[in-house]
Structure 1
Amino acid sequence: MAQIEIFGEIEGQPVHSLTLTADGGLRLTLLTYGARLMQLWAPDRAGGLADVVLGHDSLTDYQTQGGYLGATCGRFANRIAGGQFWLDGARHQLALNEGPNQLHGGPRGFDGVVWAIADHSDSHVTFTHTSPDGDMGYPGAVDLRCTYRIDGLRLTIEMTATTDAPTVVNLAHHSYFNLAGQGSGDVLGHSLQIAARHYLPVDASLIPTGAVLPVAGTAFDFTQARPIGHALPGPGGFDHCFCLSDPLVRTEGPLLRPCLTLMDLASGRRLRLSANAPGLQVYTGAHFAGTPGKAGATYGRYAGVALETQGFPDAPNQPQFPSARLDPGQTYQHLMLCDFTPA
């Protein structure tokens, strides 16, 4: 079974860490706080292991440093303009946590709660959480499950939700990747290729304008592999949603689409990500500045890149975007398949 330890305590509630291992493959450490990925050890082309996700060594840092490192974000990941939306003729005012807007579910989103452990083995763990009606302003009680499963060099993340009343749901996994190893410097030299021919431009508050623009001829064109830092769109780097364009295909069971390939050329570590979500938020971690990491590391600007498959930001307010609505009797399902076979 998975190795389980006490990592800390929040308001008298224990926070557990769980370590999963796959023979000859990946090793993961997860936290019940935020159903969060804390460590992910992956091999280079010579078999050398490195921890390739950013994180912290203490629960206090996870609570105070921000950035959502490794967390499961929701009830609505990304931004909702004005922190409000209308559903079936009713206006819902949400808790604000980014100026006049809401980000990643509000000041106490799913990243900031302690999830329960429903079941686990050496190679998987399932976390559960119930978000009550009115949580951060959202209607309907929502039951959530988040399962991490490893098989050799593959990691599958499955997030599901059901509701007892109409609501909106958009869950995202928020690890920051550095395939050279966490704490090794910035990721601007990593090679990135994205299966997206369009992206969503944003305003000064990082809210989508409603337009859908082609990536061709812009800094957002990753249709061919190129360094992340080849042409940043501004001093803040990337914090934009790419519209995944490849059709869903069956991959040993679930319908998924190829999303991206990320690679550290020096080590040969590579991440090939497939998912069933329509969007991919790419955030290059511009906020890191002397941030405490793991094993004595300190994270600077662009120390990792978040690759968040998800629905489109502000979808509840932009009817031309894929709907984020969830009704009773339906099941929201977000699947991610991460293949770390080195090049």
Structure 2
Amino acid sequence: MATSFRHFGNLPDGSPVTAFTIGDADGIHVTLLELGAAVQSLWVPADGGSTNVVLGHSDAEGYVRYADDYMGVVVGRYANRIANATFTLDGQTHTLGVNNGSACHHGGPEGFSHRVWSVTRSSSHSITFELTSPHLDQGFPGEMTVLATYTVEGAVVVLEMEATADRATVFGPTSHIYWNLAGEGSGGVDDHRLTVAAGQFLPVDDDGIPDGALRSVADTPLDFRHPVRLGNVMRADHAQLHNGVDHSLHVTGHGLRHAATLTDPVSGRSVEVHSDLPAVQVYTSNFFDGRTVGTSGTRYRQGDGVALEPQFHPDTPNRPELGDPVLRAGAVRKHRIEWRFQG
């Protein structure tokens, strides 16, 4: 199929938002938005047709009104939480935008996910979005140029993220897709099975801020080294689990590697997540309360999707032992996420 596009709605200031669809009409195809470089829907073959397996909004107004759901968007400059909305780099302390308690969350109040990106390249199976983030955007140093390229390669969807900056800063993006392999709007993901290639997780306090060093997943509900029914974990009685799962797990190995597998035993669909980032955040849509209406007209409720976010651990800019998200002036930093489908 050729790249198709359509008007998706307008922002409050009247600016138009365009939706683009790439991939194969009779295979996997993805609808992407300029707003947040978001995956709005992702269709996989099913019974002579196709099924959308990600959560999303049906128009631009939904992405603006419920921006803090981060539905399918590219999150940055830095995904997850930075404690006290500050970090120090090369001896200089930077104060960031606060939008989650006292923390900077997912890049701040107006992070990458809130912006309209430009399309710089497109074909039937690939599209590149570009965004320029000015110096001190949300408090982060350096003017940064970011590229997000989506490609459909048969049964694999790839997201490559690339950044350059004119002075030292941090770059820790992710994709915030919510999965429901039974189909968008089909209800909870309790019966989905999740595997994560991680022997350690990062404990957090009640505000989601890292509380201590990496800890073994052994003898905790966060042991996903073998397939686990999500509903059992979401409702487990454990000090780290209050409303569900919202934790960073340390993925074994380095470079592009298998991070997680999610399977729906009823449909037989599964998606493998591969990434070159050090961790994956598992988030079971703990705060969906029926206010958000999805693409099918269904109201999303707690546990209706699960986000598997390859990323740096939360607060790594203040915890260098957890990783290195620093992007130096003139350097190029690239990260890759692959979603490989079966069934």
| TM-score normalised to structure 2 length | 0.95
CA contact (8 A) 2:233 2:245 kept: no
Aligned partner of 1:244: which letter? V
Displacement after TM superposition at 1:49 (Å):
1.9
**Distance (Å, rounded) in 2 between the aligned partners of 1:296 and 1:238:** 26
Q: Deviations over 1:87-130 (max 9, x none)?
A: 11111110111121110011100000000000111111100000
**Distance (Å, rounded) in 2 between the aligned partners of 1:172 and 1:235:** 24
1:212 corresponding residue in structure 2: 214
Match of 1:239 among 246, 254, 275: 246
Output aligned runs, 1:1-343, within 5 Å.
1-10=2-11, 11-22=13-24, 24-44=26-46, 46=47, 48-65=49-66, 66-232=68-234, 233=238, 234-248=241-255, 256-290=256-290, 291-342=292-343
Aligned residue for 1:320, secondary structure, equals helix
CA contact (8 A) 1:197 1:215 kept: yes
**Distance (Å, rounded) in 1 between the aligned partners of 2:23 and 2:274:** 22
Change (3 A) 1:24 1:246: farther
Displacement after TM superposition at 1:23 (Å):
5.7
**Distance (Å, rounded) in 2 between the aligned partners of 1:104 and 1:231:** 25
**Distance (Å, rounded) in 1 between the aligned partners of 2:212 and 2:111:** 25
CA contact (8 A) 2:10 2:61 kept: no
**Distance (Å, rounded) in 2 between the aligned partners of 1:181 and 1:23:** 18
Aligned residue for 1:92, secondary structure, equals strand
Displacement after TM superposition at 1:279 (Å):
0.5
Aligned residue for 2:63, secondary structure, equals helix
Which has the larger displacement, 194-203 or 221-230?
221-230
4+ residue runs of structure 1 moved beyond 6 angstroms? none
Cα RMSD for the two superposed structures: 1.2
Aligned residue for 1:316, secondary structure, equals helix
Aligned residue for 1:323, secondary structure, equals coil
Aligned partner of 1:92: which letter? H
**Distance (Å, rounded) in 1 between the aligned partners of 2:36 and 2:245:** 24
Aligned residue for 1:30, secondary structure, equals strand
Aligned residue for 2:289, secondary structure, equals coil
**Distance (Å, rounded) in 2 between the aligned partners of 1:120 and 1:192:** 33
Give the % identical residues: 40
CA contact (8 A) 1:23 1:152 kept: no
Displacement after TM superposition at 1:331 (Å):
1.4
Displacement after TM superposition at 1:227 (Å):
0.6
**Distance (Å, rounded) in 1 between the aligned partners of 2:243 and 2:61:** 27
Displacement after TM superposition at 1:61 (Å):
1.3
CA contact (8 A) 2:254 2:276 kept: no
CA contact (8 A) 2:184 2:296 kept: no
CA contact (8 A) 1:246 1:258 kept: no
**Distance (Å, rounded) in 1 between the aligned partners of 2:268 and 2:49:** 10
5+ residue gaps, structure 1: 249-255
CA contact (8 A) 1:22 1:151 kept: no
**Distance (Å, rounded) in 2 between the aligned partners of 1:94 and 1:83:** 5
| TM-score normalised to structure 1 length | 0.95
Aligned partner of 1:241: which letter? S
